[in-house]
Amino acid sequence: DGGITQSPKYLFRKEGQNVTLSCEQNLNHDAMYWYRQDPGQGLRLIYYSQIVNDFQKGDIAEGYSVSREKKESFPLTVTSAQKNPTAFYLCASRIRGFDTEAFFGQGTRLTVV
Amino acid sequence: RKEVEQDPGPFNVPEGATVAFNCTYSNSASQSFFWYRQDCRKEPKLLMSVYSSGNEDGRFTAQLNRASQYISLLIRDSKLSDSATYLCVVRLLAGGATNKLIFGTGTLLAVQP
């Protein structure tokens, strides 16, 4: 079945550590996105990528990094520079250039302990 | 000013009521518009796209007013199962970035028996 998969579902990190969240899709979508959601809040865009080897900062990119070496994969690294990393992270993908829906993974809940 | 603004609610309505959600966007270069639904602690899923001519899907009606930069969602005959957060989404055309998706903060709907 085609879809978008995020792993792990829950992640605990010690302060000062970098951690990488995985996002894989087999939908052949060009565009991929990372969002952060805090309790009772909407989704805020961290990074997005329109094609392989290209990505742009969203509204809250500080303290995060991404790579897009393969079409299927768009991992997000939460670095120690991110001061408040505890949140629900959502990855999405969609067909580039059309008015089509974005499909989301089930999300990763990151908690800093 | 936020790029996409919504009334956060919550909207508490009885079953069978009609409820309307509003959304305004600030960037006149916005290209596409959507309503997503998000259940508690789940990923968002597309409810419906919003077209210039307005569109309807069963009990749901979406409308777009480009002149006023305003989007609306009307839910008729509310069901308990409609209880969720409704997110307004805008796809921006900004320079070479035609695939930037911006989410509003969402409006929480609670349908009461």
pLDDT score, position A57? 94
pLDDT score, position A39? 84
Q: B43, A58: Cβ pair inside 8 Å? A: no
State pLDDT tens for residues A46-88.
Answer: 999 999 999 999 999 999 999 999 999 999 999 988 889 999 9
> What percent of chain A shows pLDDT beyond 90?
79
Residue in A42, A97, A105 closest to B105 by CB: A42
State pLDDT tens for residues B55-84.
Answer: 999 999 999 999 999 999 999 999 999 999
- Is the per-residue pLDDT at A2 higher than 80? no
- Band of residue A113 on the pLDDT scale cut at 50, 70, 90: confident
CA–CA distance, B104 with B108 (Å, rounded to integer): 12
Q: Which residues of A touch B89 (CB under 8 A)?
A: 102
- For all residues of chain A together, what is the average pLDDT? 92
- Is the per-residue pLDDT at A98 higher than 70? no
**Mutation test of the interface with chain B: which of A35, A36, A43, choosing the one with the most B Cβ atoms within 10 A?**
A43
pLDDT score, position B8? 82
pLDDT score, position B98? 65
What average pLDDT score do residues A89-97 get?
Answer: 90
Q: Which residues of A touch B2 (CB under 8 A)?
A: none
- Is the per-residue pLDDT at B5 higher than 70? yes
pLDDT score, position B52? 85
pLDDT score, position A105? 96
pLDDT score, position B54? 87
Q: What angle do CA A31, B100, A22 make, to 5 degrees?
A: 45
